[in-house]
Amino acid sequence: MDREIVRRIADEAREEEANLVVWDKRDTFTVEPKAEVSVEDDYLKVKMEDGKATVYVEYDSIYKLVVEKERAGRTGTRAGFGATFS
């Protein structure tokens, strides 16, 4: 996935105070708004739980990013950008 796309989606999640859901080749995980997210040269770096856990995800292994927004009357709905690369 392109670094600038990742940066734009991470910024949107931060601005909206929404969760960022990351799908990569191995797993899917949700990044809460309070986590520290940084877009590095070759990877996405996420510090969770007050620095107790750090996740590094290479851009090449990310195939979908979603900004998870809560809507009135619906819980757990997801809106965002997804991309699939071969």
The pTM assigned to this predicted structure is 0.74
pLDDT value, residue 1: 87
Number of domains in the chain: 1
Per-residue pLDDT tens, the chain, 86 aa: give them. 899 999 999 999 999 999 999 999 888 989 999 899 999 999 999 998 777 889 999 999 999 999 998 755 445 555 555 554 44
Q: Domain with 61 in it: what CATH number?
A: 2.30.30
Q: Sheet harboring 62-68: ordered strands across?
A: 28-31, 19-24, 62-68, 79-82
pLDDT value, residue 81: 53
pLDDT value, residue 77: 52
pLDDT value, residue 79: 53
- The residue range of the domain holding 22 is 3-82
How many Å apart are CA 69 and CA 52, to the nearest integer? 25
